[in-house]
Chain A
Amino acid sequence: MHWDVVWNNFDYFLWGAYPKGPLGGLAMSILMALGGIFGAFWLGLLIGVCRLSKRVWLRAPAMVYIEIIRGTPLLMVIFWFYFLAPVIMGKSLPDWQSAIIALIVFTSAYIAEIVRAGVLSLPKGQMEAARGSGLSHAQTMIHIILPQALFNMIPSFVNQFVSLTKDTSLAYIIGVSELTKTATQVNSRTMKAPFEIFITVAALYFVVCFVLTELSRRLETKINRYQARGR
């Protein structure tokens, strides 16, 4: 066993060559996940609301978008943006940027479905009462429906964030220096401790994801209890 390899490179796993070089490792993975969930939340919210619209020209494109993205492997989406960006924009984006765009586009389709499920699970009377009080459809959505739906969906968003954190590992394939990439770098440089390295990296991901999964379970029971009291 060569645990010293892991020990000597542990800071590299955590934040890459920073501060002497570019940021990488687990810090990069988490930053990408945070950027990804932020972008995917707003895009997914927009698409989810469009998907619920009564107007077919809003609903149909949203549905097609969701179905296409959900039927495609993330790796394909990443390759798409990696190879498409130079064709469209005439120059290539930095790797981490095209990876984040791909993660946002991919995750937004799943967020849209969460938003949709959240809105549909509210009692119909909410919408009718708000419209009956004279609010427009858009006002009802913004002030009445979405705040409740999004609150109920917090655990699902946390779960989606966990998936996204795991998905950032795919950025390795286009060369972004996140946790998985640093692991393969150290592995090819040292050549003697693949087992120890990959167990350690898996454990690092596990700590982040498991803590968040537990948080989402706690939140779910809390929100359920809160709702049971309200009724």
Chain B
Amino acid sequence: MAYQFDWELVVSGQYGDWIVDGLITTLQISGISIGLSLVLGTMACIMRLSKLKPLEWIAWTYIEFFRNTPLLVQIFFWYFGSYTVLPDSVNAWLNTVNQEFACGVIALTFYTGAFIAEDLRSGIFAIPKTQLEASRACGLSFMQAMGYVILPQAFRIIIPPLISQFLNLIKNSSLVMTIGVADLTYMARQIEAHAFHGLEAFTVATLIYLSISLVVSFSIQQYNMRVLRAAR
């Protein structure tokens, strides 16, 4: 039996609404995780460079462990495994919010934060060491020198890799469907199960992911070109 394509079905009516709901969830979970992973990544990077052995060691372990294990296993760990070791207050809080969504955010944040920390570290290394020495000599503390002198320059350098990390995060957010967050991929899968029109649903979902990626990378190219022209 040949496959009958029915595009109307997946872009309108109930299934169309599902796709839109899924997209909104994907954007929400990605947006929150992007903000949090930026904070976590910056903190981990500063700890790694702080010259305080215990802090350095904690940050190193965090970065290496989370970069070298699959995100899917991390998601399962946070969702199934973490409650036995987390404090009761955290577990109680997780029960009051949408637990799947919260675990998805935590997993994406920790995973991407480790990558951002490494990107930021290479950005900081690209800045001449004398910058830090000069600011320390002017009487700024390590944290002040980082916050006012080093980090603003480093972030400007790492904008392109940072954006591709964010794009990776949006793509990786598709994995949260495994713990039941109703994101775009989950909805496409759902339409497949309900209406047996998986190909159309996956096409639409793929096109949405693709256009997010293309729009963002195109804007970055434009931005880069403008910055390069301005620098010239």
Contact = CB atoms under 8 A, between A and B. Distances in A.
Given A71-B209, A194-B81, A87 B3 contact: yes
B206 A76 contact: yes
B77 A198 contact: yes
Contacts of A173: 178
A70 B177 CA distance: 20
A141 interface: no
Contacts of B77: 195, 198-199, 202
Interface of B: 3, 64-65, 67-74, 76-77, 80-82, 84-85, 167, 171-172, 174-175, 177-178, 185, 188-189, 192, 198-199, 202, 205-206, 209-210, 212-214, 217
Q: Is the interface of B mostly helix, strand, loop or mixed?
A: helix
A95 interface: no
A46 to B, nearest CB: 23
A79 interface: yes
Interface in A197-222: 197-199, 201-202, 205-206, 209-210, 213
B213 A166 contact: no
A140 interface: no
Contacts, number: 115
A101 interface: no
A202 B73 contact: yes
Nearest to B177: A75
Contact of B69 (A70, A184, A187, A206): A206
A195 B81 contact: yes
A71 B210 CA distance: 5
Given A72-B209, A205-B70, A79 B188 contact: yes
25 contacts: A70-B213, A71-B209, A71-B217, A72-B171, A72-B206, A73-B174, A76-B174, A76-B206, A76-B209, A79-B198, A79-B202, A80-B206, A83-B192, A83-B199, A166-B68, A180-B72, A180-B73, A194-B81, A198-B76, A198-B81, A199-B77, A202-B77, A206-B68, A206-B69, A213-B68
